[in-house]
């Protein structure tokens, strides 16, 4: 399964929003969200960046992935806790709890990536 921050996959790709991909049977076990399951998080270069790089020689619609990492929700939460105060300040003093579902993991991955990257 695949989805992103925005409900439109085309918007996620063209704007460079974080997208996640996972196997549903790995994420939900016995009706419970598995925090140890690996999730693919990726982001495309936004169309405006491709246009700046390639100009009119390369069609704006051609997309390139520049973030492509696999993490579990537990790993994401550990990364978040390493820089919690700085990330919270960077994203507007919101805060995260340990992800309880795939949406929480996606939002946390996006915020971590915006602050320090997902490496």
The pLDDT tens digits for 20-38 are 999 999 999 889 999 999 9
State pTM to two decimals: 0.88
Output the average pLDDT for the chain.
90
Which tokens hold the place of 27? Answer: 């994420």
- Say whether pLDDT at 13 is over 80: yes
Query: What is the predicted pLDDT for the residue at 95?
Result: 83
Tokens of 49: 């960046």
* Residue whose C-alpha is closest to residue 68's, from 27, 38, 34: 38
H runs (alpha helix) in 1-119? 9-15, 24-27, 47-54, 73-82, 84-90, 102-116
In this prediction, residue 59 has a pLDDT band, given cuts at 50, 70 and 90, of: low
Rounded distance between C-alpha atoms, residue 13 and residue 98, angstroms: 27
The total number of structural domains that make up the chain: 1
Q: Which two tokens stand for residue 15?
A: 């704007």
Domain that holds residue 48: 2-116
Cα–Cα distance between 48 and 54 in angstroms, integer? 10
The predicted structure's pLDDT at residue 62: 60
Which comes out higher in pLDDT, residue 80 or 47? Answer: 80
């Amino acid at each position: 399964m695949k989805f992103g921050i925005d409900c439109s996959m085309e918007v996620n790709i063209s704007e460079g929003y974080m997208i996640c991909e996972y196997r549903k049977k790995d994420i939900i076990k016995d009706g419970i969200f598995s925090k140890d399951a690996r999730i693919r998080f990726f982001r495309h270069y936004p169309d405006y960046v491709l246009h700046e790089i390639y100009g009119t020689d390369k069609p704006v619609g051609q997309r390139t992935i520049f973030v492509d990492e696999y993490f579990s929700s537990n790993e994401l939460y550990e990364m978040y806790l390493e820089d919690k105060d700085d990330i919270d300040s960077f994203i507007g003093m919101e805060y995260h709890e340990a992800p309880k579902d795939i949406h929480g993991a996606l939002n946390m991955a996006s915020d971590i990536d915006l602050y320090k990257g997902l490496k």
